[in-house]
Amino acid sequence: QVELVESGGGLVQPGGSLTLSCGGSGHTFSNYAMGWFRQAPGKEREFVAVVTWTGITYYEESVKGRFTISRDYAKNTVVLQMNSLKPEDTAVYYCAAGRRPRINSDQRALTEYSPWGQGTQVTVST
């Protein structure tokens, strides 16, 4: 069974940092892009960042310079380091694997990704 599992969410004050991790099992994702998305209450799920199979990274404009996405091929994991967090970053964060192998383009559409993890809650508040 192919599965992605996120961890690392929690409550943090504005300006703080969190590190999200996503581990894959049942499949090796080294030839696939790995992305992070988020969904705030009452809003649609949106793209946050992606790292391609060769390590190229793309970011949503509002997180550039604050978030860093990286991957560990040996551990089959992807990490989202989030710094300078703002209340508007509050959301459930999901990781997902690209559907098609060996793609280096900037994939932001949700339909480009499967499978998905179950999500982890990030709350930025005083």
pLDDT for res 2: 84
Backbone phi and psi for residue 111, each to the nearest 5 degrees, phi listed first: -70, -10
Q: Is the pLDDT of residue 26 over 90?
A: no
pLDDT for res 122: 98
Q: Is the pLDDT of residue 25 over 90?
A: no
Rg, Å, the chain Cα set: 13
| For range 77-106, the mean pLDDT | 97
CB atoms within 10 A of CB 98: 20
| For range 57-62, the mean pLDDT | 98
